[in-house]
């Protein structure tokens, strides 16, 4: 009985560890980029948003369908409602769903120096894949 219990405990610890280390991608808007227009931006949640973010298209257009890279990995959003609705699904470079997204309370991130402030609109958790 102990021989069976130990592998199950190790399996449970491994599963918990992989969930605990899941990557979270944050999305929001950068205020007044170089062209004086607000843009969608993405970054690895928990790391510096400014600088460090990937700038997508203008805020008046949907962020869905715009591929972006964070490190070596390419992602894209889908499930946006309307032209400027937040994403609900995260895709990998093959177009497979690897995570879900939720909106939040629009928290402002104060960037310093020459960096423009960012308003965080939500996060996407990578649940499988990259």
Phi/psi of residue 10, each to 5°? Answer: -65, -40
Give the tens place of pLDDT for each residue, 72-126. Answer: 889 999 999 877 778 999 999 999 999 999 998 788 888 877 778 899 999 999 9
Q: How many C-beta neighbours within 10 Å does residue 46 have? A: 10
* pTM, rounded to two decimals: 0.76
The DSSP symbol for 23 reads -
Give the pLDDT confidence score for residue 78 in this predicted structure. 94
Query: What is the rounded CA–CA span in Å between residue 30 and residue 43?
Result: 11
Give the tens place of pLDDT for each residue, 37-47. Answer: 888 999 999 88
Q: Are 44 and 68 in contact (CB under 8 A)?
A: no
Of the candidates 92, 4, 75, 2, the one whose C-alpha atom is nearest the C-alpha of residue 40 is: 75
Give the tens place of pLDDT for each residue, 2-18. Answer: 445 443 333 333 333 33
């Amino acid at each position: 009985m102990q021989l069976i219990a130990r592998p199950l405990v190790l399996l449970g610890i491994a599963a918990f560890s992989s969930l605990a280390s899941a990557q979270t991608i944050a999305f929001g808007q950068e205020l007044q980029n170089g062209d004086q227009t607000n843009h969608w931006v993405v970054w690895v949640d928990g790391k510096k948003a400014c600088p460090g973010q990937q700038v997508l298209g203008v805020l008046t257009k949907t962020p869905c369908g715009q591929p972006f890279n964070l490190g070596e990995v390419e992602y894209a959003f889908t499930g946006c409602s309307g032209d400027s609705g937040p994403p609900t699904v995260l895709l990998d470079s093959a177009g497979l769903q690897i995570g879900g997204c939720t909106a939040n309370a629009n928290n402002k991130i104060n960037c310093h120096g020459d960096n423009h402030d960012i308003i965080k609109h939500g996060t996407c958790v990578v649940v499988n894949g990259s």
